[in-house]
Amino acid sequence: MNKYAFDPKPYRDDILAIVNEVAAVKRWTPKSLQKILPRHPRDGNAIFSRDQLVMGYRLLVSEKLADENPLVLERIRMKPTRTVSGVAPVTVLTKPFPCPGKCIFCPNDVRMPKSYLADEPGAQRAERNMFDPYLQVFNRLRAFMNTGHSTDKVELIVLGGTWSFYPEEYQIWFIKRCFDALNDFGVRDRRDEVKSVNMFEEANRIPRKTADGRTRSYNEIVHAVSRGATRDLLTASELSSWSELEEAQVANESASSRCVGLVIETRPDYIDEHEVIKIRRLGATKVQIGIQSLNDRVMELNRRGHGAKETAAAIHLLRRAGFKIHAHWMPNLYGSTPDSDIDDYKKLWQPEFSPDELKIYPTSVIANTVLHEKYKQGEYSPYTYEELLQVLTGTMPLTPRYCRLTRVVRDIPSTDIVAGNKRTNFRQIAEEELNKMGSPCQCIRCREIRGRKISPEDLQEERIEYKTSAGTEHFLSWKTRSDDRIVGFLRLLLPDDGDHFIPELAGNAVIREVHVYGQVVALGERQEGRTQHLGIGSRLIRTAEDIARSGGFSAISVISAIGTRKYYYRLGFRLHSLYMHKPL
């Protein structure tokens, strides 16, 4: 049976029996469901999958054969950690496109946008959906819904190559179609109207070598595959106007699946004032930015194309504009050592940088890269297990409590790694070693409350103040007294300079992020003990207003996502152009 064509109606009685048993268990463990399912087999010999249980449970509730019980859905949903950070993350990839970079370590899979590999899970989903943004978003939301997750609050993560190098018309179209899918989900299904074709399926069949023995570059092959496209390698359907995007954004303010965060990925040397304003106009609230290293000698050896100066300038502009800064950092680059990497990591927390989130991506040797050639010639050696562990245990404890280590080690399939670390659980290995050393990582991810219920009496406030190149940052959080678990936080910037390249922010304090952790709770739904409905967010905002007022600011601004505008309206903020503002 195709599980996606599953019809729960003939199995009402079996699923109802399972649901009743699930609800009756007092001490639930991960193995509880495994004990229940064999007692109620499907068709006498098969086991119901979790998504089939979710479909059946929703049918029973709709027919009033079972009471709606959030506890039941929580116990039968698949992969509950997917939405435990408070939002449903939907990652989409742009289509393959020429890249301005010449990094010697970067994968050159011509079927994918630059730096991605066809075997990576997110890349596979993008390829199956022909890199079409509408299909990627709609089908991912459908997968979340089928496995018991709420799709009300969505963080849209746009990855692939250098976003800022794609033509502006494509950027507008891509984001607009993402919003179209969010707005349609749960209301109408227009997937049959999408006529996208993956023109890059044939890319791998183009010979890497020309007749005269020259090696074709990634950009050259992508140009060849895109020969049927119009100007700037765009097809006629990949064009939208700003007014069309803005119409889709307004619709999303009250949609059932709202965008509560929009992330794009780019390079520091492609960030200037014009680019920052454009990214904000698209609706973005966070920027993933490839720092890679702050050692200019290492960056030059790896042909990165920029240095620490450009990185500092980009972060300054993004912070002034209120964006969350999600940096990528790469130990074990060509020319680095474990000791130099640890020294480099310390520089990350200087005022010029201080990212809000960080991905640590140890360098891997991938086929068809310049680094691979250097490895074969004996000019480059990946770190040993012991050396990589030395780097991670020497850096992770240095991470400030205001930063979230989103990922440690990139999820590259081991079959694609010619040399280097192939252990996807190296973060766990490093954390266990740090716990033995008595120096556990203090980053946000290691301390977040996740799916636990909490008591308001166990909460206490924490404030961290630190200097950056744009002004003074206040990291405000609520955490548990008993075990230091963070339940929600706010990032407030008090700028040093009253002038601003975005006039509506001139002289204002800026809230750069408000985040409350815990399993996603549907809009309008309240569950006892859930952190998302204890008023943590509004309490943090009131504290931020008090701090800004005491600092001499007469107004406070927030970089609101499209789907959170109504929340801020209720708190007295009003939309000007790109930001929401409130007088103090």
Residue 546: count of CB within 10 angstroms of its CB: 11
Q: Are the C-beta atoms of 583 and 507 separated by less than 8 Å? A: no
3-state secondary structure of 427: helix
pLDDT at 524: 47
Which of 51-55, 127-131, 375-379, 526-530 is the least confident region? Answer: 526-530
User: Which carries the bigger pLDDT value, residue 201 or residue 509?
Assistant: 509
CA 390 to chain centre: 27
pLDDT at 574: 98
Percent of the chain with pLDDT over 70: 93
Cα–Cα dist 74/310, whole Å: 46
Query: Following DSSP, what letter does each residue of 33-74 receive, concatenated?
Result: HHHHGGGS-BTTTB---HHHHHHHHHHHHHTTSS---HHHHH
| Backbone angles phi and psi of 373, in degrees to 5 | -65, -40
Dihedral through CA 147, CA 148, CA 150, CA 156, nearest 10?
-10
Residue type at position 87: V
* Domain spanning 448-583: CATH superfamily: Gcn5-related N-acetyltransferase (GNAT) (3.40.630.30)
**Using DSSP, how many helices (H) and how many strands (E) does the chain show?**
19, 16
SS (H, E, C) 197-242: CCHHHHHHHCCCECCCCCECCHHHHHHHHCCCCCHHHCCCCCCCCH
- Enter the tokens of residue 3: 């599980």
Cα–Cα dist 58/445, whole Å: 32
Mean pLDDT of 137-155: 88
Indicate the average pLDDT of the chain: 90
Dihedral through CA 405, CA 408, CA 411, CA 414, nearest 10?
180
pLDDT at 529: 47
In the predicted model, is pLDDT for residue 399 greater than 80?
yes
pLDDT at 523: 46
Cα–Cα dist 153/301, whole Å: 43
3-state secondary structure of 107: coil
Which of 492-501, 516-525, 573-582 is the least confident region? Answer: 516-525
Of 51-65, 280-294, 411-425, 449-463, the range with the highest mean pLDDT is: 280-294
Cα–Cα dist 353/468, whole Å: 7
Cα-based distances in Å from 533 to 107, 264, 474, 526:
43, 29, 23, 6
Tens digits of residue pLDDT in 85-119? 568 899 999 999 989 999 999 998 888 998 898 88
**The model's pTM:** 0.87
Percent of the chain with pLDDT over 90: 64
Query: Following DSSP, what letter does each residue of 123-175 receive, concatenated?
Result: HHHHHHTTT-HHHHHHHHHHHHHHTT---SEEEEEEESS-GGGS-HHHHHHHH
| Backbone angles phi and psi of 564, in degrees to 5 | -110, 5
User: Which carries the bigger pLDDT value, residue 384 or residue 24?
Assistant: 384
Cα–Cα dist 448/536, whole Å: 14
Tens digits of residue pLDDT in 420-452? 999 989 999 999 999 999 999 999 999 998 767
In the predicted model, is pLDDT for residue 143 greater than 80?
yes
Host H or E run for residue 582: strand 580-583
- 356: number of CA atoms within 13 Å, CB side? 26
Mean pLDDT of 542-563: 97
- pLDDT bracket for residue 215 (50, 70, 90): confident
Q: Are the C-beta atoms of 383 and 362 separated by less than 8 Å? A: yes
In the predicted model, is pLDDT for residue 466 greater than 70?
yes
In the predicted model, is pLDDT for residue 521 greater than 50?
no
In the predicted model, is pLDDT for residue 135 greater than 60?
yes
Tens digits of residue pLDDT in 479-503? 999 999 999 999 999 999 889 999 9
Which residues does 428 contact at the CB level (< 8 Å), separation at least 6? Answer: none
Which of 138-152, 314-328, 340-354, 420-434 is the least confident region? Answer: 138-152
Beta bridge partners of 293: none
- Enter the tokens of residue 516: 């409350």
User: Which carries the bigger pLDDT value, residue 161 or residue 301?
Assistant: 301
Of 209-223, 284-298, 406-420, the range with the highest mean pLDDT is: 284-298
Tens digits of residue pLDDT in 6-22? 788 889 888 899 989 88
User: Which carries the bigger pLDDT value, residue 47 or residue 574?
Assistant: 574
Cα–Cα dist 161/129, whole Å: 18
- Angle of CA points 179, 201, 164, to nearest 5°: 45
Cα–Cα dist 353/376, whole Å: 35
pLDDT at 361: 96
What is the CATH class of 287-447? alpha beta
3-state secondary structure of 109: coil
pLDDT at 335: 97
Cα–Cα dist 40/274, whole Å: 61
- Enter the tokens of residue 130: 């022909």
Q: Are the C-beta atoms of 363 and 412 separated by less than 8 Å? A: no
What region does 535 belong to: left with phi over 0, alpha with psi -120 to 50, or beta? Answer: left
Tens digits of residue pLDDT in 221-262? 887 776 555 556 677 778 889 999 999 999 999 999 999 999
pLDDT at 4: 47
Which residues does 143 contact at the CB level (< 8 Å), separation at least 6? Answer: none
Mean pLDDT of 513-540: 67
Mean pLDDT of 294-320: 98
User: Which carries the bigger pLDDT value, residue 370 or residue 535?
Assistant: 370
pLDDT at 519: 45
- Enter the tokens of residue 529: 């003990």
Cα–Cα dist 264/94, whole Å: 10
Which of 59-73, 88-102, 308-322 is the least confident region? Answer: 59-73
